[in-house]
């Protein structure tokens, strides 16, 4: 070990002078990205891109061994600072914190286009951009401020990046009834309850039969030039694909960054806790392995070819739930 340390100390400047080299260390030599228990210790040389020797100048070739110690060249890409996704960005990318001014924070999912006008718009969930509104409850209205970062991450009105442009209403299983008979029943029930239990109230709710298809909304940017459509740490969206069981997927989210998972089920109907004491049913959903946490809502989910397959909106410690991206596109009349 001491010999390897001393050798690295002696030769690291020489290694760093080679094109592409961006790091030097020591570790067990790997074969096809796997190191066995009996693999020899080696000088690990990190390169941005692994190239065949025929494409390198003689000086840039890393020797097979140095001072009798084997070398192991590993491709790592560009090494960058891992920027916080909860700060304010001058150039805003999908994968960072965003939110309606009344919520905590979610994820900017994608930069999309209005199908008719070609206008650039911001895609995320209804519960991120429209406060989970059904359109009649006063939770949000078109033109409301959208902040980057979201309020939980320090966003204030001075951090407004755009305004609420369009949303698909989210219908709960039970809602406040509008009819006079229900209001009268609630009134008299509370008169009776007050006699025996003054601290309690009765609420009469109407059970709905509406199954939701998407939890999706759009924001109109104040300055489209501030938008960078490249998904943070993933890259550009390269089309759309239908999710299939067993498909490998990934996302870039505010809380957990880039995570990977696998599609477990499609055409699913799920009951979702909306976080305000109500539940909502969503049909035609995609169930994936657990790959998200709170604050990742709104993330665009892609396959290995960077094709969009779903919009992340809910999950547990075991699974993540996605809207089918085609449903999102149809409901909001958008394209990538």
Please report, in tens digits, the pLDDT of each residue of the chain (336 residues total).
Answer: 789 889 988 988 899 899 888 888 888 887 765 556 667 888 888 888 889 989 989 999 999 999 999 998 888 887 654 568 999 999 999 999 999 999 999 999 999 999 999 999 999 999 999 999 999 999 999 999 999 999 999 999 999 999 999 999 999 875 555 556 656 655 655 555 556 555 555 444 445 557 899 999 999 999 999 999 999 999 999 999 999 999 999 999 999 999 999 999 889 988 898 887 888 889 999 999 999 999 999 999 999 999 999 999 999 888 899 999 999 999 999 999
Q: CA-based angle 225:230:235, to the nearest 5?
A: 165
Phi first, then psi, for residue 147 (nearest 5°) are -110, 145
Q: Which H or E run includes 286?
A: strand 279-289
Which tokens belong to 232?
């943070």
Contact (Cβ atoms closer than 8 angstroms) between residue 268 and residue 320: no
Which tokens belong to 308?
């969009």
- pLDDT value of position 204: 42
Cα atoms found within 13 Å of the Cα of residue 115, Cβ hemisphere only: 8
The owner of tokens 């998200």 is 292
Which tokens belong to 194?
């007050």
Give the burial class of 96: count Cβ atoms within 10 A of its Cβ; 0-12 exposed, 13-18 middle, 19 or more buried: buried
Instruction: State how far the Cα of 215 lies from the Cα of 17, in Å rounded to an integer.
Output: 52
pTM here is: 0.72
Q: CA-based angle 109:110:113, to the nearest 5?
A: 140
Q: Write the CB contacts of 322 (distance below 8 Å, at least 6 apart in sequence).
A: 243, 285, 286, 287, 288, 301, 309, 310, 311, 312, 313
- Closest of 227, 333, 330 to residue 284, by C-alpha: 330
Instruction: State how far the Cα of 146 lies from the Cα of 164, in Å rounded to an integer.
Output: 6
Q: Write the CB contacts of 158 (distance below 8 Å, at least 6 apart in sequence).
A: none
**97-171+210-335 CATH pick, 3.40.220.10, 3.40.30.10, 2.40.70.10, 2.40.10.10:** 2.40.10.10
**3-class SS at 95?**
coil
- pLDDT value of position 48: 86
- pLDDT value of position 47: 87
Neighbours of 237 (CB within 10 A): 20
- Closest of 264, 296, 335, 266 to residue 96, by C-alpha: 296
Q: Which residues of 148-181 are buried (b: 16+ CB within 10 A; e: fewer)?
A: bbbbbbebeeebebbbbbbbbebbbbebebeeee
**3-class SS at 115?**
coil
- pLDDT value of position 97: 97
Which tokens belong to 82?
């891992």
């Amino acid at each position: 070990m001491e010999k390897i340390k001393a050798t690295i100390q002696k030769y690291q400047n020489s290694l760093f002078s080679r094109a592409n080299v961006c790091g030097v260390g020591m570790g067990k030599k790997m074969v096809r990205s796997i190191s066995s228990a009996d693999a020899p210790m080696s000088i690990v040389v990190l390169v941005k891109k692994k190239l065949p020797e025929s494409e390198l100048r003689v000086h840039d070739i890393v020797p097979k061994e140095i001072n009798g110690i084997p070398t192991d060249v590993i491709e790592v890409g560009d090494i960058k600072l891992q920027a916080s996704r909860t700060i304010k960005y001058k150039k805003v990318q999908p994968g960072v914190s965003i939110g309606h001014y009344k919520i905590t924070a979610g994820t900017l999912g994608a930069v999309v286009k209005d199908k008719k006008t070609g206008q650039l718009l911001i895609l995320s969930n209804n519960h991120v951009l429209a406060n989970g509104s059904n359109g009649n409850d006063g939770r949000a209205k078109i033109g409301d401020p959208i902040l980057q970062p979201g309020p939980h991450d320090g966003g204030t009105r001075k951090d407004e990046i755009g305004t609420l442009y369009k949303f698909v209403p989210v219908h709960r299983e039970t809602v406040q009834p509008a009819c006079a008979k229900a209001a009268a029943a609630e009134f008299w029930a509370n008169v009776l309850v007050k006699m025996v239990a003054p601290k309690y109230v009765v609420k009469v709710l109407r059970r709905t039969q509406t199954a939701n298809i998407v939890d999706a909304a759009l924001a109109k940017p104040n300055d489209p030039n501030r938008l960078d459509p490249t998904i943070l740490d993933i890259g550009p969206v390269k089309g759309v694909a239908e999710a299939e069981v067993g498909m490998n997927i990934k996302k870039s989210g505010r809380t957990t960054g880039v995570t990977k998972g696998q599609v477990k089920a499609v055409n699913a109907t799920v009951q979702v806790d909306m976080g305000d004491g109500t539940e909502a049913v969503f049909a035609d959903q995609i169930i994936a392995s657990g790959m998200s946490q709170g604050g990742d809502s709104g993330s665009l989910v892609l396959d290995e070819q960077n094709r969009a397959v779903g919009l992340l909106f809910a999950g547990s410690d075991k699974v993540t739930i996605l809207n089918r991206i085609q449903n999102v596109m149809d409901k909001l009349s958008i394209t990538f």
